[in-house]
Chain A
Amino acid sequence: MQQELLLTVIIFILLFLKLGADNIDSKKLMTLVNVLLAINLAAGFFFNQSGSLFGDMFYTDHLLRLEKSILNLGVLIISLQSVNWLSKHQHAVEFYLLMLSTLLGMYFMISSHNILMFYVGLELASIPLAAMANFDLDKKRSSEAAMKYIMSSAFASGLLLFGISIMYGVTGTLSYEGLREVASDSPLFLFSFILLIAGFGFKISAVPFHLWTADVYEGSPIAVTSYMSVISKGSMIFVMASVLFHVFDKIFFTWYNLLAVLAVLSMIIGNLFALRQQNLKRFLAFSSISQVGFILIGMTSANPQGATSVIYFVLIYIFSNLAAFGVLSLVSTEKGKETIDEFKGFYKTNPALTWILAIALFSLAGIPPTAGFFGKFFLILAGASKNNYVLITIAALNMVISMYYYLRIIKAMFMDANDNPIEKVEISLSPKIAFVTCVAGIVITGLVSGVYDYIFSLVR
């Protein structure tokens, strides 16, 4: 509970700051917020209590604390990267208020031990996110993205709620422990379970529930896009893994087939659409859809190795995706360029940023010395434990396809000639810290086996 309380305190500090002072110096504010977030991240490792609260609605243990700390790290990196964008924006405090309230919602969602708590956390995590998508106030695309996001998330939560209500009607209980005992494969229960999976699928944007993803990612400001694609998606993956593994473990064969279909569709469709994108934000949206397919493959294993590999991959995914988004954010804020053609010859003018983006893309593609390789390796290894080699073969083939479009960007940056490449972009201190963290994370998480072992030791 301490992590939630600390975050609430930070939210209130920012709120009073906003109410108390009329015009705050945005540079000082950024420093303050980043220090607070760093304290939040560091403090997460010192609390060690586990147990349940509120009549068994809220439950926490070491693994869940680690998941929250991973999300904290991601939020800190995003905050450091978006300093340049936010210091020009007149509503910086509100941005942090909204972002931290969604983070609080994700905490409650991760710690939920009752469907009611899960639903409240889910909505707290998704409603402010729609307001954040609208944060480029003078851009048409931004408000269009916000509209698309709130409509589809409201529709998704409608489906989810209909599923929950039927599940309540069949079983008469809403707590995870009660559901675990009465879960059966009666038709009505399965119907409600499928609706529940549809609700999950919308949030992690697995195909066929992905239609909102590309538009929302392209229209939102880049800080929000990276938040959605990494933190929001990652938290939902954590919740999905723990709910499927610990609540619905009796109907494993049902959700094994469901997840296998979702995984295959996500990988293939995500890859095929990523091939034809020109806008880098949209490209990363489709690549994140196909990454979700790989995560779902790891999730089909339903054993501790699977749970570990999923959490481990989300950690790596945070580092690599945020490095890519960080470069994009800098270039787009300073120069307003975000298509692949404009990135041609980027190496001539910005070698450092090119290398960061290249390492991030290598990690996303899964090329050996980077952590992405180990992440995908463990996911597929876990998926193979069920001896369904057709699924694993499809995953491996999709990795080859994905290699093509990641390398296409690297080729454009390093090899293609361009008469007027993007000029030199200055990297100020805070994005520099973020980049160093990301690149160090990409390299170290893969090579140091202690990370995987540590997560494995915490998995129940």
Chain B
Amino acid sequence: MNEIPLSHILFVSTGLFFIGMYGLFTRRNMITMLMAIELMLNSVNINFVAFNKYLYPEKLDGIFFTIFIITIAAAEAAVAIAIVIHLYRNHKSIDVEDAAEMKW
């Protein structure tokens, strides 16, 4: 069976990145927005692993970077969810439209 070409994988990851961006801009629920951000970060992970495997298999830079991104994304999600929970206690809502006291 033939190997999947690199361009296919890059199509997937780029698509995933922009789906994440679209989700971040259109969704109004904070948890969903966080999920959209995770999509963006995961598309970057795919990029790194694919580049490492196809183009530079002699060094492991890309794999290392992926491990760090996964770890940091987990930390970021933890802090973000804590903030959203706190926001829910204050506002009784996790819709971003309701958290709009400050404008301009």
Docked-complex contact B83 and A130, CB < 8 angstroms? yes
Centre residue among A141, A144, A174, A273 by max chain B CB count within 10 A: A144
Interface size class of B (residues with CB under 8 A): 35 or more
Which B77-104 residues have a C-beta within 8 angstroms of A?
Answer: 79-80, 82-84, 86-87, 90-91, 96, 99-104
- Min distance, Cβ A134 to any Cβ of chain B, angstroms: 6
User: Which residues of A have CB within 8 Å of B55?
Assistant: 169, 172
Assembled-state Cα–Cα distance A146/B83 (Å)? 7
B98 to chain A: closest residue by CB: A144
- Min distance, Cβ B78 to any Cβ of chain A, angstroms: 9
Docked-complex contact A162 and B44, CB < 8 angstroms? yes
A209 within 8 A of B: no
A153 to chain B: closest residue by CB: B76
- The answer to whether A150 and B102 touch (CB under 8 A), given A137-B86, A155-B24, is no
Docked-complex contact B80 and A150, CB < 8 angstroms? yes
B68 within 8 A of A: yes
Docked-complex contact A162 and B17, CB < 8 angstroms? yes
Docked-complex contact A127 and B61, CB < 8 angstroms? no
Assembled-state Cα–Cα distance A128/B72 (Å)? 12
User: Which residues of A have CB within 8 Å of B72?
Assistant: 119-120, 123, 127
What is the count of residue pairs linking A and B with beta-carbon distances less than 8 angstroms? 123
User: Which residues of B have CB within 8 Å of A147?
Assistant: 30, 80, 83-84, 87, 96, 99
B14 to chain A: closest residue by CB: A162
- The answer to whether A161 and B41 touch (CB under 8 A), given A116-B68, A140-B90, A143-B90, is yes
Docked-complex contact B76 and A154, CB < 8 angstroms? yes
Docked-complex contact B68 and A168, CB < 8 angstroms? no
A298 within 8 A of B: no
- The answer to whether A165 and B48 touch (CB under 8 A), given A119-B68, A218-B102, is yes
Docked-complex contact A162 and B40, CB < 8 angstroms? yes
Docked-complex contact A143 and B87, CB < 8 angstroms? yes
Docked-complex contact A123 and B83, CB < 8 angstroms? no
User: Which residues of B have CB within 8 Å of A164?
Assistant: 44, 65
Which A128-150 residues have a C-beta within 8 angstroms of B?
Answer: 128, 130-131, 134, 137, 139-141, 143-147, 150
Docked-complex contact A131 and B82, CB < 8 angstroms? yes
Residue of B61, B79, B103 touching A131 (CB-CB under 8 A): B79
Docked-complex contact A174 and B61, CB < 8 angstroms? yes
Residue of B41, B69, B91, B103 touching A140 (CB-CB under 8 A): B91
A39 within 8 A of B: no
Residue of A119, A166, A173 touching B61 (CB-CB under 8 A): A173
Assembled-state Cα–Cα distance A374/B48 (Å)? 46
Assembled-state Cα–Cα distance A65/B100 (Å)? 41
A215 within 8 A of B: yes
User: Which residues of A have CB within 8 Å of B43?
Assistant: 162
User: Which residues of A have CB within 8 Å of B30?
Assistant: 147, 151
User: Which residues of A have CB within 8 Å of B91?
Assistant: 140, 143-144
A151 to chain B: closest residue by CB: B33
A270 within 8 A of B: no
Docked-complex contact A120 and B68, CB < 8 angstroms? yes
A219 within 8 A of B: yes
User: Which residues of B have CB within 8 Å of A208?
Assistant: none
A-B contact pairs, 8 of them (CB 8 A): A119-B72, A127-B76, A141-B102, A143-B86, A147-B83, A150-B79, A154-B34, A174-B65
Report, nearest first, the 8 A-B pairs whose CB atoms are least far apart.
A165-B47, A158-B40, A169-B51, A161-B44, A143-B87, A172-B56, A215-B102, A144-B99
